[in-house]
Chains A and B, each alone.
Chain A
Amino acid sequence: MKVNDQEILDRIRSPFTKELGFRQLIETYQKPVYQVIRRMVLIHEDADDLTQNTFIKAYKALDRFEGNSTIFTWLYRIATNESLTFLEKKKKRFFFSLEDHQEKLEAYVEQSPSPTGEEIEVKLQKSLLKLPDKQRLVFHLKYEEELSYEEISQITGTSVGALKASYHYAVKKIEQDLSHE
C-alpha cells in the first residue's frame, strides 16, 4: 500500500502510531535520500552513515516540521547539509591526516566499476569531482534528479538566480572537460 505524506505525518503525530509512521517515512524516502548522498560522497559506507544520520535528525526534528515544504524537500535539505558538512570535515581533517579525501574519492572512481561499466560514466565522475562541492550538488539535483529550480531553492535556501548561474557554470565545465578527454 502506498501511503502519502499526510498519512505518514498523521501517524507520526500520534503517540500510538509514531514508530509505524516513522518506519513508513524511512521506507518511502530511503532510496532517494541514499542516492543523493551517495552521489556526493561516493563511498557506500559513508553514504550509509549519512543516510542514517539524516533520518535520525529528521526524527528528532519531526515535531518542528510545520509542513511549509514537502517531506521530500525537507529530508533532502537535511541530507544535502549532512553531505556538505561531511565533505567539509574531511577537508579540514586533511590538515591532521596523511589521507587526502579528494584523492581517496578519485581513486574510488578509478577503481570502482560504473553502474553500466561505460567509460564515459567514469569520465563524468572524474569531471564532477573537479567541481566545488556545492556546484556539484546543484548539478546532481538539476541534471540527475531533474528537480526544478524552485525545489532546489527550497532545499538549499539559495535564490533561483544563483542556482541557475551555478548550474550553467557546472555544465559548461563538465562539457569542456569531457570534450578535452
Chain B
Amino acid sequence: MQQIPKQKPFQTPDNYFEELPEKILSKVNRPKSIPTWTWAAAAVVLLGFGLWQADGFFVDKPILVSPEEEALLYIESEQWSTEDVLSLSEDPNALLDQIIEEELAKSEPLWTEEETWF
C-alpha cells in the first residue's frame, strides 16, 4: 500500500473558484428557455408537413405514406444510416444526448447491490 502515492489536488485556471459561484447563480436565476434544437426540430416537422400537404395540390400522384412513415421506411430498409439521420438534424449532439438521456432513464440505477464490482 505504501508504494501507491497520494495524488495532489488538480490545478484550475486562475480565479476559477472566485468566479464559479457567480456562474452557477446566474444559471439558476436564468428563466428557463427552450433549447434551440427543439425549435429547429419543430420547424423541420412543420416544413415536412407543409410539403406533404402541398404535394397533393401541385403533383398529381397519390400520397401513400406520411413523411414520418417515409423516413422510417428509409431507416428500416437501411437506405439511411444512423449518421444520415443525425446529419439531418441541426444539432446532432443534442439529439444524441437526448437519446442517451432517455436510454439511461430506462436503465437500472447507477448503484446496485447485485452488480459485479470486480
Which A residues are within 8 Å of any B CB, using their own CB?
19, 22-23, 26-27, 30-31, 34-35, 38-39, 44, 47-48, 51-52, 55-56, 59-60, 81, 84-85, 88-89, 92-93, 96, 114-116, 118, 120-121, 124-125, 132, 134-135, 138, 143-144, 156-159, 162, 165-166, 169, 171, 174-175, 178-179
Which B residues are within 8 Å of any A CB, using their own CB?
1, 3-13, 16-17, 20-21, 23-25, 27-29, 82-83, 86, 96-97, 100-101, 103-104, 110-111, 113, 117-118
A81 to chain B, nearest CB (A): 6
User: With A and B bound together, what is the CA distance between A59 and B117 in angstroms?
Assistant: 32
- CB of A166 within 8 A of CB of B117, answer yes
User: With A and B bound together, what is the CA distance between A77 and B89 in angstroms?
Assistant: 35
Known: A81-B110, A96-B96. A166 touches B6 (CB 8 A): no
A174 proximity list for chain B (CB < 8 A): 4
Chain A interface secondary structure, helix, strand, loop or mixed? helix
- CB of B27 within 8 A of CB of A120, answer no
B12 proximity list for chain A (CB < 8 A): 34, 44
